[in-house]
Structure 1
């Protein structure tokens, strides 16, 4: 059985992320979407809420599992017998960053591979940081995130 992980902070998950998830799920028997807390950034949504919103967004995909994890990605992969990382690329800048990350992981864990998917052009401008900024300034993000994420954001921020 082929298994891969699509890791990210998904803070929040965007339509671009969902497109990568849908497309990657067609190439693997099981796709794990790994949600982590990015220690370099202040969280917009708690990890638990991101996991729940993602679970709702992928509920129609039978081979996709959403999990939260801490620590090094490579450690999680080896502990859970996941040999492939899926990464989405929007730009040359993304490629340069992801290439370096893939090479570090490959050097330390030669048995792990990275599978790159190019983002569809209609999603290339969407990032979680753009969504956060638009939301914080009252912009309409409804076309940038799935409905479950929009509901989670509105619920969390209207407490």
Structure 2
């Protein structure tokens, strides 16, 4: 039986920390689906199509990884794709309370779906999409925070898109 894990998030943009979590998840599961959320309430810097494209570019060299966009409940998406594991990344203690609540919520919606929390490597522990977006707003250095493919896509965009 193939074990499928769903890694949902806004990925605005996908970072080295996200990539690290995906690579770690591949050591544990047969298939990882990176699910890029529309996230209307978060008002992302990049469109859903741009974020999906960046995620595709970032994980292009990894086998058994699929990238999809979505705009529905994560638990419904997990059911649709036959995933009984949700992957969530934990960088710091500050992430834990929110992620724990989310895990309990998802479990209350479907007790057959488990949440697995993975930590990125220490060098990626501080990397977040919000830090990257802030740097991008001021044309700051981000190449050490993003997969090279994602950095190239972002730097190739019209600069007024990033404001």
Per the normalisation by structure 2, the TM-score is 0.93
**What RMSD in Å do the two structures reach over aligned CA positions?**
1.2
- 1:27-80 per-residue CA deviation (whole Å, 9 max, x = no partner) reads 111100000122222221111121112112111111100010111000111122
In structure 2, distance between residues paired with 1:60 and 1:149: 13
| Structure-to-structure mapping, 1:57-76, within 5 angstroms | 57-76=58-77
Partner residue, 1:6: 7
Partner residue, 1:85: 86
> 1:155 offset after TM fit, Å?
2.4
CA contact (8 A) 1:54 1:148 kept: no
Please give the secondary structure, in 2, of the residue aligned with 1:74: helix
Per the normalisation by structure 1, the TM-score is 0.95
Once structures 1 and 2 are overlaid, which stretch shifts more, 4-13 or 114-123? 114-123
Q: List, as ranges, runs of 4+ consecutive aligned residues in structure 1 with deviation greater than 4 Å.
A: none
Runs of at least 5 residues in structure 1 that lack an aligned partner in the other structure: none
In structure 2, distance between residues paired with 1:108 and 1:43: 26
| Structure-to-structure mapping, 1:13-28, within 5 angstroms | 13-28=14-29
Partner residue, 2:143: 142
Runs of at least 5 residues in structure 2 that lack an aligned partner in the other structure: none
Partner residue, 1:40: 41
